[in-house]
Structure formats: C-alpha cells, structure tokens
Amino acid sequence: MRMHINAYLCTTNTDTSSWNLGGTPRFQERPLKDGAVMSLFAPVYDCPWTLERTNFVSEFNFDGGKWTCGVSEMRQSGRPCVVYSFGSNADSAFEDGVRRTNPACEIHIFDPTSKPPPRFREKEYSFHEMGLCSEQTKANGRLTMKCDTLSSIMRTLNHTHVDILKADVEGEEYSFFTSEPWHRHASAVGQILLEVHL
C-alpha cells in the first residue's frame, strides 16, 4: 500500500461536500489507526519485477494471500533472501508459497502463541517462539508473551537486511509502526506485508 503523503500533510480546509464536515482533517494529528488516516492508503504498488500473490496465508482459518514483489528475481541478486514471518498460527501456507517461488530464501517464523508449523524442520524454516512488539509495549510491563523489536531481532539473528517482513500481530502493528526507528531500516527492509486490524 502507498500512502497519499500530500493529503496526510495537508492542514487546510478542503471540504467541498454537501455535508460540510469541516474539511480534510489534519491527519497527522490523528492516531494512526483512525479510519480517516487509513483511508489515505491506496492498494497499489509499482513493482518493477514479478508481482505475485501467495494463494493463502492460512488455509484452515482462510486468511487470504499476500502480494510479494521480486521474490523470483532475488535468486539472481547474489545475496541471501531473508524472510521474517510474524504470526503463523502453526500454518506455513505463506512461507511455503515464498519457498516455491524462491527455494533459496532463509525463512524465519515468529509466533509466541502457537506451536511450530508441521514439518517446519524438514522445510528448513527457523521457528522462534516470540512475537514482534515495540519498545513502548515492552516498557509498559504488561506483556503476556515473549516479544522483541525488529531491531533487536535482526541483531540477534545477525541480519543486516530483511527482504520480506510479513506481520499479523493482532493490533500491535500500530505501536510497532509509530515507535520503530525506521530511519535505521530505510535500506534494511525490502517490503512489508501487513494485516491491519481496525
């Protein structure tokens, strides 16, 4: 998804509707999960390589597929492909789809709430019984499960880049996006596939 950044930064009253709602809201002053801010995301991405959709993320709960860009071309890049998949519910449908496209990907599955997917060792996936969370979530001291920040996980696994970061983290995505030091990840995270909980 791509955000309409000009609309996000707009502070003038541009409402021309018959409802006279007071103009375009000052989106940057609203919480990230506010419906008005979410409306600024357009479901488009200009992928200069192969754009593919996995059939499923979960077969038994039927979470639909995720779009990936350039996974097959990563084989030709000369560097290892790294995939972080947060939230699996013991289902490796998404990871299996990525592996079919690019067998060379190093795939890490993170989920503190479920068992590893069946046959994950045979498929050479790494399973981590931990979730993705922000520094502020860790600091509030009310955690009921093991989680860590993206920066810390990358350091622990000795990764300088993540080509695909897939996250279904049940509402933690807001805290994660607003507090993660994205200026440090600008060239380290290739693409983010995110389930947003409204």
Asked whether residue 42 carries a pLDDT value surpassing 80, the answer given is no
Mind listing the pLDDT tens digit for each residue in 81-128?
Answer: 999 999 988 999 899 999 999 999 999 999 999 999 999 999 999 999
Q: What pLDDT is recorded for position 99?
A: 93
Inter-residue contact 191 to 165 (CB < 8 Å): yes
Q: Which band of pLDDT confidence, cut at 50, 70 and 90, is reported for residue 27?
A: low
Strands (E), the chain: 2-3, 41-42, 51-53, 56-58, 63-64, 67-69, 82-86, 106-110, 126-128, 131-132, 147-148, 162-167, 189-194
The encoded tokens of residue 80 equal 């290892």
Q: What is the pTM of this model?
A: 0.75
Tokens 């969370």, residue located: 133
Higher pLDDT, 156 or 42: 156
What's the token pair of residue 37? 């801010």
Distance of alpha carbon 160 from alpha carbon 176, whole angstroms:
19
Residue 169 CB partners (closer than 8 Å, separation 6+): 86, 87, 131, 132, 133, 176
